[in-house]
Amino acid sequence: MEQFHKECEGASCELLTLENEFISLGFVQVKEKNILEISLRGRAMAFAKIGQRVKVNAYCTEEHLVVLSGMVEEFTSTHVRILNLRMLDGEEKRRHFRMNVGMRAYISLDGREYDQIAYVSNISLGGISVKCDMPLGMGKYFYLKLRLPTGFREFACQVKRAERLEDGSIQYGCVFGTLSLLSSESLRSFVMEGQKKQGGT
């Protein structure tokens, strides 16, 4: 658990039931050993009861997912406090579905001028992989505009991994930052629909 504390403070996360039913998106706040608080991102899609065991998918980096379970001590409109944490592995871990796509997107460094074209190769509720010619340093924050079935949506992203491809472009693995309620719900609807079509778990 100590390694989790060091790597995942502030990470984007998903809060789920043990049956993998979605509750909310949020950010990890480690309080002390075996105690976790999640700052909720937007409106929760469901509520967990006090004493209920839940699952947390913490996207510490685009490639590093930590899955925990614990018992809900407190659940409010802004945060959730979880006790008795333990890491999950094997079959009970069940990494959240990542959807393969081929979509055009637009990048902005200031959230105003979307003047750089990018291509999205896959997306999940916690992050996205994009290819573009623009150099983005590790840890760099940027904004991405993507057309979903509900319309264009904006996403705050942070670079966690970069790989230069043979054509000279760069493939970036990114995690999402704070999202608006509209963007969060549009993303969830899009990914869940893709999961059904692709037969993901």
Which CATH number fits the domain that encloses residue 75?
2.30.110.70
Residue range 58-81, pLDDT digits in tens: 877 655 678 888 999 999 989 999
Q: Quick one: 194 and 154 in the same domain?
A: yes
Average pLDDT, the chain: 82
Residues 106, 47 within the same domain: no
Same domain assignment for residues 18 and 75: yes
- Which of 33-47, 88-102, 122-136 reaches the highest mean pLDDT? 122-136
What is the pLDDT, as a whole number, of residue 80? 94
Does 192 share its domain with 105?
Answer: yes
- Asked if 72 and 11 sit in the same domain, the reply is yes
Task: Please tell me whether residues 104 and 187 are part of one structural domain.
Answer: yes
Domain boundary among 76, 92, 108: 92
105 and 194, same domain (yes or no): yes
Final residue of a domain: which of 77, 92, 107?
Answer: 92
Range of the domain at 166: 99-198
Note the pLDDT of residue 29.
84
Domain CATH for 105: 2.40.10.220
Q: Are residues 20 and 67 in the same domain?
A: yes
Tell me how many domains the chain contains. Answer: 2
Same structural domain, 20 and 107? no
Are 108 and 192 contained in the same domain? yes
Q: For residue 91, what pLDDT is reported? A: 45
| Range of lowest pLDDT (18-22, 49-53, 103-107, 147-151) | 18-22
CA distances from 32 to 4, 23, 27, 37, 58 (A): 11, 23, 16, 10, 16
In terms of domains, do 182 and 118 share one? yes
Residue 4 has pLDDT above 80, yes or no: no
Task: Count Cα neighbours of 86 within 13 Å in the Cβ-side half-sphere.
Answer: 8
Q: Output the 3-class SS for the chain.
A: CHHHHHHHCCCEEEEEECCCCEEEEEEEEEEECCEEEEEECCCCCCCCCCCCEEEEEEECCCCCEEEEEEEEEEECCCEEEEEEEEECCHHHCCCCCCEEEEEEEEEECCCCCCCEEEEEEEECCCEEEEEECCCCCCCCEEEEEEEECCEEEEEEEEEEEEEECCCCCEEEEEEECCCCHHHHHHHHHHHHHHHHHHCCC
Q: Which of 75, 92, 109 delimits the end of a domain?
A: 92
Condensed to tens digits (0 to 9), the pLDDT of residues 153-168 reads 999 888 888 888 888 8
